[in-house]
């Protein structure tokens, strides 16, 4: 089965937050994305609410429950106690843990699984006890996969930023793609499913899904939202689905 597409709504929320107005509607564009075939919605509710706001979470949860019950809600973030309580309140199907500092503009690195095992293990255990699927943000480095598995997580999400940054250098992109592929191979061998996200676009998705045919999910926000300004959200989702192999 091709990789499922989860639409990250943070860039939509960031545009909305430039004014004290309700548009563009985060849930409205989420609805269009799901109606066009997206398999889920992703948000990263940062503590300062500069992108998705905490008030958006119950609305997105209700949108999925009431209109698209086959879709999934993925909440990602740094596992502070406040974040964990948000997750427990709004019950996403998947929780993606990222090692972001609150001041970071966006996620830009994965966990050091070995060094942070004593921190991640109890967090993953708590989330798993709550019934959540847990994914951990991972650099494209096979060396960390065994420690990621030992946390008890279900998946890793490959950080594809370096790959996406090679949009004008095909040779460098090939090398970055192979790093991702080797990490995905190690994850699969360790019994972990593999997600991917960051700076993925229609042009670089086919090579990724070709190298990682067992890719479970891609979470895409910035590139997809940029395309939506040109093509509209529905057509953009269709384009990204085709790039994933649907």
Average confidence score pLDDT of the chain: 96
Q: What is the dihedral of CA 198, 200, 45, 51, to 10 degrees?
A: 110
Is the per-residue pLDDT at 237 higher than 90?
yes
Specify the number of domains making up the chain.
Answer: 1
Query: What is residue 108's predicted lDDT score, i.e. its pLDDT?
Result: 72
CATH number at residue 59: 3.20.20.70
Q: Pick the catalytic residue from 72, 76, 176, 217.
A: 76
- 215 pLDDT band (50/70/90 cuts)? very high
In the chain, what percentage of residues exceed pLDDT 90?
95
Asked about 76 being catalytic, the answer comes back as yes
Q: Pick the catalytic residue from 39, 44, 51, 72.
A: 44
Query: What is residue 118's predicted lDDT score, i.e. its pLDDT?
Result: 97
**89-148 pLDDT, tens digit each:** 999 999 999 997 766 656 678 999 999 999 999 999 999 999 999 999 999 999 999 999
Q: List all residues 6 or more positions away from 87 whose beta carbon is below 8 Å from its beta carbon.
A: 75, 95, 127, 130, 132
Query: What is residue 104's predicted lDDT score, i.e. its pLDDT?
Result: 60
Asked about 198 being catalytic, the answer comes back as yes
Is the per-residue pLDDT at 233 higher than 90?
yes
CA distance 63 to 58: 9
Rounded to 5°, the CA angle 110-192-39 comes to: 85
| N-to-C CA span, the chain | 8
Query: What is residue 183's predicted lDDT score, i.e. its pLDDT?
Result: 98
Range of the domain at 73: 4-244
Q: Pick the catalytic residue from 39, 51, 157, 198.
A: 198
**54-77 pLDDT, tens digit each:** 999 999 999 999 999 999 999 999
């Amino acid at each position: 089965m091709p990789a499922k597409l989860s639409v990250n709504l943070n860039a939509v929320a960031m545009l909305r937050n430039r004014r004290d107005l309700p548009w563009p509607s985060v849930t409205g564009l989420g609805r269009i994305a799901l109606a066009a075939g997206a398999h889920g919605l992703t948000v990263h509710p940062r503590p300062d609410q500069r992108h998705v706001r905490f008030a958006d979470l119950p609305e997105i949860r209700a949108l999925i429950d009431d209109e698209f019950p086959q879709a999934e809600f993925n909440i990602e973030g740094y596992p502070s106690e406040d974040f964990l309580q948000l997750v427990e309140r709004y019950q996403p199907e998947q929780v993606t843990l990222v090692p972001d500092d609150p001041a970071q503009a966006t996620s830009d690195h994965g966990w050091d699984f070995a060094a942070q095992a004593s921190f991640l293990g109890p967090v993953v255990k708590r989330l798993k006890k709550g019934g959540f699927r847990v994914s951990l943000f991972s650099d494209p480095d096979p060396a960390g996969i065994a420690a990621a598995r030992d946390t008890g997580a279900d998946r890793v999400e490959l950080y594809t930023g370096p790959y996406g940054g090679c949009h004008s250098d095909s040779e460098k992109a090939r090398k970055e793609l192979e790093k991702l592929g080797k990490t995905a191979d190690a994850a699969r061998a360790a019994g972990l499913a593999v997600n991917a996200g960051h700076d993925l676009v229609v042009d670089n998705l086919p090579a990724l899904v070709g190298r990682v045919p067992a890719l479970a999910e891609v979470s895409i926000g910035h590139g997809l939202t940029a395309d939506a300004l040109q093509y509209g959200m529905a057509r953009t989702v269709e384009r990204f689905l085709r790039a994933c192999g649907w």
